[in-house]
Chain A
Amino acid sequence: MTDARLKVYRGDSEGGGMVEYTVPVEAGMVVLDAVHYIQGHQEPDLAVRWNCKAAKCGSCSAEVNGKPSLMCKTRLDDLPLDQPIEVRPIKTFPVIKDLVTDVSWNYEVNKRIAPFKPATEDTDSWKVYQEDVDRVQEFRKCIECFLCQNVCHVLRNHEKTDLSNPKQFFAGPRFMIRLASLEMHPMDVEDRVPFTKNEAGIGYCNITKCCTEVCPEEIHITDNGIIPMKERVVDRYYDPVMMVWRTLTGQK
């Protein structure tokens, strides 16, 4: 059996550094297994957030050799084991301890999004076809791992995370997708286009698609979610023909 060396970030909001550990490698082992091995045999107080270990809950996000990943899906045999594997907490959110970050900001953002509002409560009268919900279902695959939030340069580098100042705020790709999933739901009658433009800061996204690249659910965040939402904002606010049409018909 070979060994792997892991350099794991140990520290808290005050600071910290990388600490190296050696872990025996088993067939099919993932980075989360290696971190658990350290926890179970060497450092019981090593903090790591995880739940399902099956890529369904999105808890174990980290940066493995610099790449934002779910630790439960990152296999050791896909990494070069001749050098230490570096495991760091996701950078965009503040460190609580070791690999655990404070992602509560995301939950605050979610609260601001108007919930689903159906045209009628009588679901027996609904006729909703599969082709009507395919694209919404793609967005609803999101497991809230926040890796897209982590790599979004508007949040990561420009720190547009100020909940009290719309000019310094971008809801991030996760919540663009959430908005899209509600706006494109065939039975929804709420209007979130003004919110998308004025409060969620969709204008900040300049479509670099970094979010799409890291999505473990392979959601086409930019192409299928953000760009169509941008188009709705443009139609509403910048297309004179559509503005007249809406005034005449009263449609949203």
Chain B
Amino acid sequence: MTTLDKQYETREHDVIVVGAGGAGLRAAIEAAHQGLKVALVTKSLLGKAHTVMAEGGVAAAMGNVDPADNWQVHFKDTIKGGKFMNNWRMAQLHAQEAPERIRELERWGAVFDRTPDGKILQRPFGGHTYRRLCHVGDRTGLEIIRTLQDKAVHTPGIDVFMECTITKLLKTDGRIAGAFGYWRDSGKFILFKAKAVILATGGIGKAFQVTSNSWEYTSDGQILAYDAGASLIDMEFVQFHPTGMVWPPGVAGLLVTEAVRGEGGILTNSKGERFMEKYDPARMELSTRDIVAKSIYAEVKEGRGSPHGGVFLDVSHRGAEYVKKRLPSMYHQFKELADVDITAGPMEVGPTTHYVMGGVQVDAESAQSDVPGLFAAGEVAGGMHGANRLGGNSLSDLLVFGRRAGLGAVEYIKSLGGPVNLDQAAVDQAIDEMLEPLTRTDGENPYAVHRELQQLMQSHVGIVRTEADLQKAIEILQGLKQRAMNVKASGSRQYNPGWHLAKDIKTMVIMSEAVAKCALQRKESRGGHTRLDFPEYDPYWASVNSTIHKGEDGSMVVGTQPLPQMPPELKQLFEEEKH
């Protein structure tokens, strides 16, 4: 194969699932159970997706430890944690269905930590009224992905395509007709014909400099959907997890699980003050992530930070054996990467870009986007978590809406009449777009553009935002967009990360523009969106979601739409509490 070879192989399936983390695996399993022929396409190896990094637990109102827990309380916690920006129906379905999804995992072989009476153990977490997080020490994500991976491998009807990247969605007559991609190991192109596509591609964190996210989080699904004509919502809501490592530089941003606080960890500043007393005296360290992150930010900004620009988090009072048993990865992570023994003293932590609440706008029941045949589940979808996600609600989200997206695709395909034909011109365009960076001799190194993008998003569109910073960022992003369109890839197509990044950098720049523009538009502070110039909640902004879509002329259209209103019986739940 020459570098500019346009050949491709063609595969035909009913549905393509893009991404093989928790949501993608669960979607593929469901669709295959219902008899569909599924292509599960992942740009990494199976079992390496971002779900593997989830640590603290999966939230489900099983009531094993606190029998008073039920879906209504979980629903209320989720909505309150999301600052009432959530799609109420998604939050309801999530709270109702999470326990059954956990039992299902157990039936498929997951081995959770146990209570003394032989049930699944549940631990406390920020924003959850009751002890609700089913867990396996601090490696819950690994347990979930391995269980789903083995289930998928043994489910007939799923073809797995590992290290295969989807670069474009293909539509005919306004609905999904397939997807185009390439094999990482050979660099060869591949065309998937399909009636439906389920996006399960995760988040956007690699646009930021300090992040807990892996290389995969380059907003692939959000921009595949955007380019295909789907709307995105709430892109300004980015979760900065309060506790990432801050030292040494090589590991800055690496996640320190909320389970440290769930297991009794205490946050202090350089003066030894337990500062959460000031910001949220009732919930302290187990306040919601947005509040803890902003509190840490304020302490550091006001000169009470730790030596490396964070604060102290200490769980050593629980005793060495307890800490090693409950938080084994954290113990090893600090010991090996930072020379810190967390059983003997505090760790230094600070906020890190972790999760995006916004994403592809979907129907709550079916997970379908505005584009017929295009579905989205997990982090790539918006609405479920509102303005701020509670810890533990992501893993349950993957399971609940992964399954629903699989079912949604089944129902959609049943309703389709006639075959789906591909538009050859779109395929040719997808090929040309991939080959362009390889044809340039004088373009920039994509890594250089990526570094500048990360610095810009960190400094101008980060945890605290202002109108001036955001406007400046949008202006600079126009230049970065031009540069991203003109980067060069050298070498062959075989396993070429520079060539891959040449594609990703275009995607990340568009996503960054969407985040910055939504952030500029929302003139208030709420959850994962903090404006220094508008520090309070605003009743108008409480009533609308931000929207983004690609206009007819290809430009980005930013707007708002009314927030769906929950029915009286759910509103009543919040009323009852006031009395």
Contact = CB atoms under 8 A, between A and B. Distances in A.
Given A51-B214, A52-B52, A121-B107, A45 B496 contact: yes
A155 interface: no
Contact of B150 (A26, A59, A115, A185): A115
Contacts of A47: 494-497
Interface string B226-243: 000000000000000000
Interface in A18-44: 26-30, 33, 39-41, 44
Interface in A134-183: 136-137, 140-144, 182
A174 to B, nearest CB: 12
Interface string A82-101: 00000000000000111010
Interface residues of A, number: 61
B117 A44 contact: no
Contact of B499 (A45, A54, A142): A45
A100 B185 CA distance: 9
B490 A44 contact: yes
B109 A115 contact: yes
Contact of B142 (A26, A124, A141): A141
Given A41-B447, A51-B214, A28 B117 contact: no
Interface residues of B, number: 67
B544 interface: no
A115 B154 contact: yes
B185 A56 contact: no
Given A51-B214, A102-B185, A46 B497 contact: yes
Given A26-B250, A98-B495, A130-B114, A51 B139 contact: no
A96 B188 CA distance: 14
A195 B7 CA distance: 42
Among A44, A50, A127, A185, residue most surrounded by chain B Cβ atoms (within 10 Å): A44
A245 interface: no
A185 B489 CA distance: 49
Contacts of B50: 51-52
A48 interface: yes
A246 B127 CA distance: 53
Given A26-B248, A45-B499, A54-B53, A133 B255 contact: no
Nearest to B145: A57
A141 B137 CA distance: 10
Contacts, number: 174
B103 interface: yes
Nearest to B329: A56
B46 to A, nearest CB: 6
A118 interface: yes
Interface string B145-182: 01000110110000010100000000000000000000
Interface in A100-137: 100, 102-104, 107, 110-111, 115-116, 118, 121, 123-124, 126-130, 132-133, 136-137
Contacts of A132: 114
A136 B111 contact: yes
Interface string B480-520: 00000000011110111111010000000000000000000
A52 B53 contact: yes
B108 A116 contact: yes
B208 to A, nearest CB: 15
B446 interface: yes
A27 B248 contact: yes
A44 B329 contact: no
B165 to A, nearest CB: 14
A28 B337 contact: yes
B111 A30 contact: no
Interface in B221-280: 247-251, 254-255
B423 interface: no
A30 B250 contact: yes
B150 A56 contact: no
Given A30-B337, A110-B150, A129-B114, A53 B214 contact: yes
B67 to A, nearest CB: 14
A75 interface: yes
B494 A12 contact: yes
Contacts of B447: 39-41, 44
A41 B499 CA distance: 14
Contacts of B141: 56
B6 interface: no
Nearest to A74: B336
B497 A133 contact: no
Nearest to A27: B248
B162 A107 contact: yes
A124 B100 CA distance: 11
A87 to B, nearest CB: 15
Contacts of A51: 44, 48-50, 52, 214-216
A48 B501 CA distance: 13
B451 interface: yes
Given A26-B248, A103-B45, A52 B111 contact: no
A62 B548 CA distance: 43
24 contacts: A41-B447, A44-B445, A44-B490, A44-B496, A45-B492, A45-B499, A46-B497, A51-B48, A52-B50, A53-B214, A54-B333, A55-B329, A56-B141, A96-B185, A107-B45, A107-B160, A115-B108, A115-B154, A116-B108, A127-B119, A129-B118, A130-B121, A140-B142, A140-B143
Given A116-B150, A129-B116, 11 more contacts: A29-B248, A30-B250, A47-B495, A49-B45, A51-B49, A54-B254, A115-B151, A129-B114, A137-B111, A140-B142, A141-B139
Interface of B: 44-50, 52-53, 103, 106-109, 111, 113-114, 116-119, 121, 136-137, 139, 141-143, 146, 150-151, 153-154, 160, 162, 185, 214-216, 247-251, 254-255, 329, 332-333, 336-338, 445-447, 451, 489-492, 494-499, 501
